[in-house]
Amino acid sequence: MMNFKKAAEILRDSDGFLVVSHYDCDGLSSAAILSETLRRLGKEFEVKIVKRLPAELPKRGITVFADLGSGYLDWVSSLPGKKLVLDHHDVRGSGNVLHLNPRLSGSSMSASAVCYFVAREFGFRDLSVPALVGSLGDLEKPPRIILEDASDFGVRVRPALRLFGNRRPVHKTLEYSFSPFIPGITGNESAAVQFLSDLGIPVRTETGWRTLSDLSEAEVVRLADGLARLGVEPLEFRPELNGTDLREIATLVNACGRLGEYETGIRISLSGCPVRGEEIMKKYRKLIASCVSWVRRPENVERKTADYVFGKNFIPDTVIGTVVSMCMKSGILGPVAVGFAEDGDGVKVSARSLRGRISDAVYRACSELGGFGGGHEHSAGGFIPSGTEEEFVEIFENLIRFINVKR
C-alpha cells in the first residue's frame, strides 16, 4: 500500500520545497499537480524540470521527485534534507526516502496519478484533470476513481471507435481498415455498406456521406457491437473536457516538454485547455518529420539483433525516444530498437522493445560504460559517455540475444 497520507503530511507540515520532475507529459502533469497543491497550501516552492537524474539541483528543505527517482534511490538518499519520491518506474537502490511507487505493490498507474492521490488527501479533487492528462500521455490506464472525480469537473467519458479515418465516409473507413482487420469487410466497399445497413446506420444524409464523427453515441455502440460479432473489438472510451479530447491535450503537453516549453505544458495540463495548441503542434510535427527522414537514411541505422539509430546532433535528445517509437510502429525500424542522440557532454540512449524486457539490459550496458540507465520493461533510457555508442551496441547485443526478434 502506498502511504498517500504520510506524503500529504510532509507537504502540510514542511516548507521550502523543490519539486523535481521529468519533461514528458506525465512529468509535467505531475509537476502541475504538486505545484498547485503547494500553492494552495501556502507553501514556498520551486519547480525544476529535468531530462534525467542525477542532476545539479538547488538546495531546499524538502525535495520532491515526481516521475523519476525510483531508479536512483541511492543517489536520492545521499542528498541533504528530506526526500519524497512519487514515481512509477523500475526501482533500483534503497535509502532513507519516503518512496511511493505502484510497482512496489504489484500495481500500475502513472506518476501523475500517484501525485494526484497525495493531493486528494487535501480534497483537491479538481486536480484529477491533470492526473488524467498525465495518465493518457503515458499510456497508463487511469484508476477509475480519477475518472469519477474528473467527471465532477466537466470531464465526460464517451464511447468511441478505435478506427482510423474520422473524416472519411464511414463505409470507406470500414473498407480501408487494416488495423483492425475486419473479416469480410476490409477491402470490400459493398460489404461495408451492407453491414452498416443491417445495423440500421445510414451511410448518407441529404447533405452527403456520413463520417465516424457524425455518428451518435447509440450508433457508435451499435457499430461496436456489430464489429464485436465479427471478432473485432474496436470500442474505447475517450475523456473530453469542454468538447476537447484530453488525449489531444496530452499530446500537446508532451510536445511542450519535448520543445522545452515547460511552463506552457504545466499550464495546459492544469487547465485542460489547448493554449497555443496550433502553433506548438505545427513546430513539433515539423521537428518529428525531419527526424523520421533522418532515420530513413540507411547510413544512420545499424541493423543487428536490434536496430540502432545514430541521431548524432541532428535528432534532439528530447525526441529521440519518440522518433524511435514512431519508426518502430511504422515498420521503419524492427521490434527492438535503440536511439542515440548527443546530450551535452554525453549521449542520450533511448531503447524500445515489442518483444521482451530490455530495461535491465539498458541499465547494465550503460553502467559498464560509466553511465546510468533504467525505465520501464519495454521502454528504457540512459546516458553514456560520448564516443561509446558502438561499445554500447556490442554489450547490448550480448544481453538481448535471448529476445525472439522477428522482422
DSSP classification of residue 127: G
Q: Decide which of 401 and 277 is more confident.
A: 277
Q: What is the arithmetic mean of pLDDT over 221-249?
A: 86
Q: What residues make up the domain containing 178? A: 163-233
Nearest to 133, CA basis, from 142, 145, 125: 142
Does the structure show a pLDDT above 70 at 406? no
Q: Could you tell me if 220 and 196 are in contact, meaning their C-beta atoms sit under 8 angstroms apart?
A: no
In the block, cell 474528473 appears at: 150
Q: Could you tell me if 259 and 283 are in contact, meaning their C-beta atoms sit under 8 angstroms apart?
A: yes
Domain boundary, last residue among 70, 94, 124: 124
Q: Rounded to an integer, what distance in angstroms lies between the CA atom of residue 15 and that of residue 104?
A: 28
Q: What is the arithmetic mean of pLDDT over 302-324?
A: 95
349 beta partners: 340, 382
Q: For residue 274, what is its C-alpha cell?
A: 489547448
Report which secondary-structure segment, H or E, holds 313: none
Q: 6 by DSSP, 3-state: which? A: helix
Q: Rounded to an integer, what distance in angstroms lies between the CA atom of residue 90 and that of residue 111?
A: 12
In the block, cell 448518407 appears at: 204
**pLDDT classification of 403: cutoffs 50, 70, 90:** low
Q: Rounded to an integer, what distance in angstroms lies between the CA atom of residue 41 and that of residue 121?
A: 12
Domain boundary, last residue among 73, 107, 124: 124
Biggest CA pair distance of the chain: 71
Same domain, 340 and 389: yes
Q: Is residue 262 part of a domain?
A: no
Q: For residue 37, what is its C-alpha cell?
A: 497543491
Q: Is residue 151 part of a domain?
A: no
Burial of 357 (0-12, 13-18, 19+ CB in 10 A): middle
Same domain, 325 and 372: yes
Does the structure show a pLDDT above 90 at 145? yes
In the block, cell 525535495 appears at: 63
Report which secondary-structure segment, H or E, holds 303: strand 301-303
Q: Rounded to an integer, what distance in angstroms lies between the CA atom of residue 125 and that of residue 407?
A: 46
Q: Into how many domains does the chain fold?
A: 3
DSSP classification of residue 180: T
Q: Is residue 359 part of a domain?
A: yes
> What confidence score (pLDDT) does residue 376 get?
82
> What confidence score (pLDDT) does residue 404 get?
55
> What confidence score (pLDDT) does residue 344 get?
82
Same domain, 323 and 215: no
Q: Could you tell me if 285 and 316 are in contact, meaning their C-beta atoms sit under 8 angstroms apart?
A: no
Q: Is residue 41 part of a domain?
A: yes
Taking only Cα atoms into account, the Rg of the chain, rounded to an integer number of angstroms, comes to: 23
Q: Rounded to an integer, what distance in angstroms lies between the CA atom of residue 246 and that of residue 151?
A: 13
Q: Is residue 78 part of a domain?
A: yes
Distances (CA, A) of 92 to 36, 102, 185, 220, 363: 29, 14, 49, 45, 10
Q: Is residue 18 part of a domain?
A: yes
Report which listed range, 50-59, 169-178, 252-261, is most confident: 252-261
Does the structure show a pLDDT above 80 at 71? yes
Report which listed range, 34-38, 156-160, 355-359, is most confident: 34-38
Q: Could you tell me if 112 and 30 are in contact, meaning their C-beta atoms sit under 8 angstroms apart?
A: yes
Q: What is the CATH number for 13?
A: 3.90.1640.30
**Amino acid (one-letter) located at 145:** I
Same domain, 38 and 119: yes
Q: What is the arithmetic mean of pLDDT over 134-153?
A: 93
End-to-end Cα spacing for the chain: 41
What percentage of the chain exceeds 70 in pLDDT? 97
Q: For residue 200, what is its C-alpha cell?
A: 440500421
Same domain, 116 and 170: no
Same domain, 30 and 106: yes
Q: Rounded to an integer, what distance in angstroms lies between the CA atom of residue 17 and that of residue 46?
A: 6
Q: Rounded to an integer, what distance in angstroms lies between the CA atom of residue 295 and that of residue 168?
A: 30
> What confidence score (pLDDT) does residue 79 get?
94
Nearest to 284, CA basis, from 25, 22, 21: 25
pLDDT per residue as tens digits for the range 79-126 = 999 999 999 998 999 888 999 999 999 999 999 999 999 999 999 999
Does the structure show a pLDDT above 60 at 290? yes
Nearest to 318, CA basis, from 254, 265, 251: 254
Same domain, 300 and 362: yes
Does the structure show a pLDDT above 70 at 405? no
Q: Could you tell me if 239 and 148 are in contact, meaning their C-beta atoms sit under 8 angstroms apart?
A: no
Nearest to 156, CA basis, from 265, 272, 264: 272
Q: Could you tell me if 256 and 280 are in contact, meaning their C-beta atoms sit under 8 angstroms apart?
A: yes
Q: Rounded to an integer, what distance in angstroms lies between the CA atom of residue 173 and that of residue 209?
A: 12
Handedness of CA 222, 227, 229, 232 (dihedral sign): negative
Q: Is residue 141 part of a domain?
A: no
> What confidence score (pLDDT) does residue 166 get?
67
Q: Which ranges of 207-271 does DSSP label H, i.e. alpha helix?
A: 217-228, 246-258, 262-271
Q: What is the CATH number for 358?
A: 3.10.310.40
Mean pLDDT of the chain: 92
Q: For residue 227, what is its C-alpha cell?
A: 464489429
